[in-house]
Amino acid sequence: MESFFNPFENRYPNRRKVMNDKDIDAENLIKKHKSLNYEKNVESLNLSNKELNLFIGEKQEKVEGIDFPEKFTDYGQIPNLIKDNLKNMGLKTLTPIQKLFFGYLFNYKNMFFDKNKTDNNYDLIGCAQTGSGKTLAYLIPAVSFLFNDFEGINQIKSGSKYGYTSYPLILVITPTRELAIQTYEEALKLLYKTYINTVVVFGGEKPYIQQNDLYAGCDIIIGTPGRLIDFLNRGLINLTEVKFLVIDEADKLLDMGFEEDINQILYEFEWSKNYSIFLTSATFPKKVLNMVDRIMRKDYSYITHGKGLGDDDDANGNVKQRFYYIDSRYINNLFNKKMDALLELLKIVDGKTLIFANKKIDVREIRRRVDSYGYGIDCLEGDMDMQQRIRALENFKQGRINLLVASDVASRGLDIPEVSFVINFDMPNNIDVYVHRIGRTGRVGNKGNSLTLLSDIDRPIFRQIYFLLVKMKQKIPDFLH
């Protein structure tokens, strides 16, 4: 442990025992997921010709000539414990979006040392392509702030095991269980040996299992909206100590049925007097900006790598996009025709391949048919129980299977290493979803490929595909002309 006073070591009773178990999990994750190609991938991101932008305050004034340090070790505000864990994870150099987050919060705003500031809100939006390192971009500054603000961290020492309320310091809201678990695992690795306890809560699992985690007290809660509301209503979570609220994949949470849940969390429960809000996503299209403005305070700033808020969505430039058109006007069974095309394609596809379909019933049928041809394949869709979903995702991540067919539960935020190909069995009717789907490959500067099966029922979205390809300077198939 570091020599300075650690405000987390005894924040709750039994903290040491809880953290010993968590540290064992963290050790296993660090060994399993060490990023061997990270530096090469960061170099590729830096050469991606995407402009780095920082816009400050109510007038959204652009800051020119930004030159922030590029190594984790260059920031004295990051505790040595965190730096050691980053080194063990194989991380040395900041990605572009991390460089802007750190430079803005640590250097430009001087967030840790303005002791006379009574309103310690640093509301910030981070917009960058998928796989660009946004999770660590917000986690590291938030955790570093907690270490530097130990005088403001209350020691929670009262309450019984069966009547305990957790007072998180950081709350991260994600749209899916898979993304919540992934973020939780990233936090475990980052917070190894720090005594900072992280708990993940989500639907689809019996509540009492997660309740037991909360009874031990936690500093960071990562969760999906429905389960968070449930625990807030039951008094298991209290938000009056929160210093950072993170809304991850914010455009989906604000645009796909979660807005009411987010409003309930923000406005129906008591919050701390001073907390900062971080919104992150690969896209912030115009249609969600009104909702963004209702959440953020008027003096928020935003950081972009390659685009601005409200810009049309553009795909990851590292992904080579290709399309296969099926004339469906005279076809009785389009699904069977697509299956024939998919099976032919699988003969030549090499490496991890993620297949997307729009309907859960089609996901299961694709898996059944592909499996009957002897391919190693599993599926991921919303009707599966949590253990099945975790097992399928882990088998795919670890390379035990090279094919995974999924609904859009897997299109957002998931960091699956070394996906070489994304196949859209169905084209989504929303270009934002398409951008996020193909963003599962070509992550952190790597090259990737996507192939999308199109038919006449997709004609309403042809125009958007055409202009996306024009913008990304990619080859446009003849049928789109």
What would the pLDDT profile of 93-150 be if each residue is shown by its tens digit? 888 889 888 888 887 776 655 544 545 568 888 887 767 788 999 999 999 988 887 7
Q: Which residue stretches of 76-122 are H helix?
A: 80-88, 96-102
Contacts of 371 (CB under 8 A, 6+ apart): 377
Domains of the chain: 15-305 (3.40.50.300), 319-480 (3.40.50.300)
What sign for the dihedral angle of Cα 221, 223, 225, 229? negative
pLDDT tens for the chain, residues 1 to 481: 445 567 788 788 778 888 888 888 888 888 876 544 555 566 656 655 566 777 776 666 777 766 678 899 998 889 999 999 999 888 888 888 898 888 888 877 766 555 445 455 688 888 877 677 889 999 999 999 888 877 667 777 555 454 578 999 999 999 888 889 989 999 999 999 999 999 999 987 888 889 888 887 889 999 999 999 999 999 999 999 999 999 998 877 776 668 889 989 999 999 988 899 998 887 776 767 777 777 887 778 888 876 555 555 556 677 899 999 998 887 889 999 999 999 999 998 888 999 999 999 999 999 999 999 999 999 988 788 878 888 898 899 888 999 999 988 766 656 677 889 999 999 998 888 888 888 888 766 678 899 999 999 999 999 999 988 988 888 899 888 7
b/e burial code for range 205-236 (CB count within 10 A of at least 16 → b) = beeeebbebbbbbbbbbbbbbebbbbbbeeeb
What would the pLDDT profile of 154-198 be if each residue is shown by its tens digit? 777 555 454 578 999 999 999 888 889 989 999 999 999 999 999
The total of other beta-carbon atoms located within 10 Å of residue 23's CB is 16
